[in-house]
Structure 1
Amino acid sequence: MKKVTLLDLAREANVGTATVERVLNARGNVSPETAERVALAARRLGYDRRLPDRYRGVVKIEVMMVRPDTPFFARLNQAFARIAASLDSSVVVHRTFLDELDPHGLARHIANPGFRRSGLIIAAPDHSEVRARLREAKASGVAIVHIVSRIGAEHDSFVGIDNYAAGRSAAYYMTNMLKTRSGSLVALCHSGAYDVHRERVRGFSDYLAEHGDPAHLFALVMFGLDDRLRSAEAFDGALRQCRDVIGVYNAGGANSGIGSVLERHGRTKSIMWIGHELTENSRRWLKSGLMSIVFDQAPETQARRAIDLVLQRIGFIDVEVSNEPVRFLTVTSENL
Structure 2
Amino acid sequence: MPAPRKKSSARFIDIAALAQVSPATVNRVLNDRGSVSLATREKVVRAAQQLAVPRLMPEVHRGLTRIDVVLARSQTPFFQRMDLALQRFMQLLDRRIVVHRHSFAPGDDERTADFIRRPPHPRHGLLLAVHDTPVLRAAVQQVSQQGVPVVTLMSDISDVLRLHYAGIDNLHAGRTAGHFMGRLTAQTGRLLVLTNDLHFRAHRDRTAGFLDALQEKFPARSCLPITPCFDDPDQVFQAVDAALKQGALAGIYHSGAGSAGIHQALQRHGCLGQVVWIGHELSDEHRRWLKLGVMDLVIDQDPDGQVMSGMQHLLFENKWLDQNPPVGPNEFRLFCAENLPSQPYLPGSSLLPNK
What is the DSSP-based 3-state SS (H/G/I as helix, E as strand, rest coil) of the residue aligned with 2:192?
strand
Q: How many angstroms does 1:317 deviate by?
A: 1.9
Q: Given residue 295 of structure 1, which amino acid in structure 2 is its aligned partner?
A: I
Aligned match of 2:242: 237
Change in Cα spacing, 1:184 to 1:90, as seen in structure 2 (3 Å) is same
Aligned match of 1:112: 118
Q: How does 1:310-329 map to 2 (within 5 A)?
A: 310-329=314-333
Change in Cα spacing, 1:9 to 1:108, as seen in structure 2 (3 Å) is farther
> Any conservation in 2 of the 1:44–1:317 contact (CA below 8 Å)?
no
Give the structure with higher Rg (CA): 2
Aligned match of 2:334: 330
What is the DSSP-based 3-state SS (H/G/I as helix, E as strand, rest coil) of the residue aligned with 1:291?
coil
Q: How does 1:85-124 map to 2 (within 5 A)?
A: 85-124=91-130
Aligned match of 1:169: 176
Choose which of 273, 283, 290 in structure 1 pairs with 2:287: 283
Q: Given residue 173 of structure 1, which amino acid in structure 2 is its aligned partner?
A: F
TM-score (norm 2): 0.80
Aligned partners of 1:272 and 1:282: how far apart in 2? 14
In the alignment, does 2:89 pair up with 1:83? yes
Aligned match of 2:308: 304
Aligned match of 1:269: 273
Choose which of 114, 133, 144 in structure 2 pairs with 1:138: 144
Query: 1:260-279, CA deviations, whole angstroms, 9 ceiling, x for partnerless residues?
Result: 22222221121111000111
Q: How many angstroms does 1:220 deviate by?
A: 2.4
Change in Cα spacing, 1:17 to 1:136, as seen in structure 2 (3 Å) is farther
What is the DSSP-based 3-state SS (H/G/I as helix, E as strand, rest coil) of the residue aligned with 1:245?
coil
What is the DSSP-based 3-state SS (H/G/I as helix, E as strand, rest coil) of the residue aligned with 2:35?
helix
Aligned match of 1:26: none
> Any conservation in 2 of the 1:162–1:326 contact (CA below 8 Å)?
yes
Q: Given residue 168 of structure 1, which amino acid in structure 2 is its aligned partner?
A: R
Query: 1:94-129, CA deviations, whole angstroms, 9 ceiling, x for partnerless residues?
Result: 111111120111101101221111000100011111
> Any conservation in 2 of the 1:277–1:297 contact (CA below 8 Å)?
yes
In the alignment, does 2:163 pair up with 1:159? no
Q: Given residue 100 of structure 1, which amino acid in structure 2 is its aligned partner?
A: P
TM-score (norm 1): 0.85
Aligned partners of 1:10 and 1:253: how far apart in 2? 56
Aligned partners of 1:87 and 1:207: how far apart in 2? 42
Change in Cα spacing, 1:112 to 1:247, as seen in structure 2 (3 Å) is same
What is the DSSP-based 3-state SS (H/G/I as helix, E as strand, rest coil) of the residue aligned with 1:18?
coil
Q: How many residues align?
A: 313
> Any conservation in 2 of the 1:10–1:38 contact (CA below 8 Å)?
no
Q: Given residue 115 of structure 1, which amino acid in structure 2 is its aligned partner?
A: H
Query: 1:130-165, CA deviations, whole angstroms, 9 ceiling, x for partnerless residues?
Result: 111111111221101111111222242211111111
Q: Given residue 233 of structure 1, which amino acid in structure 2 is its aligned partner?
A: Q
> Any conservation in 1 of the 2:244–2:269 contact (CA below 8 Å)?
no
> Any conservation in 2 of the 1:274–1:292 contact (CA below 8 Å)?
yes
Aligned match of 2:79: 73
Q: How many angstroms does 1:288 deviate by?
A: 0.8
What is the DSSP-based 3-state SS (H/G/I as helix, E as strand, rest coil) of the residue aligned with 2:214?
helix
Aligned partners of 1:312 and 1:61: how far apart in 2? 13
Query: 1:245-274, CA deviations, whole angstroms, 9 ceiling, x for partnerless residues?
Result: 110000112222222222222211211110
**Which residues of structure 2 form unaligned runs of 5+?**
1-7, 16-22, 50-55, 341-355
Change in Cα spacing, 1:43 to 1:145, as seen in structure 2 (3 Å) is farther
Aligned partners of 2:136 and 2:46: how far apart in 1? 33
RMSD: 2.8
> Any conservation in 2 of the 1:6–1:17 contact (CA below 8 Å)?
no
In the alignment, does 2:295 pair up with 1:295? no
What is the DSSP-based 3-state SS (H/G/I as helix, E as strand, rest coil) of the residue aligned with 1:210?
helix
Q: Given residue 19 of structure 1, which amino acid in structure 2 is its aligned partner?
A: S
Aligned partners of 2:46 and 2:315: how far apart in 1? 11
What is the DSSP-based 3-state SS (H/G/I as helix, E as strand, rest coil) of the residue aligned with 2:85?
helix
Any runs of at least 4 consecutive aligned residues in structure 1 with deviations exceeding 4 A, and if so which? 1-6, 9-12, 36-52
**Which residues of structure 1 form unaligned runs of 5+?**
21-33
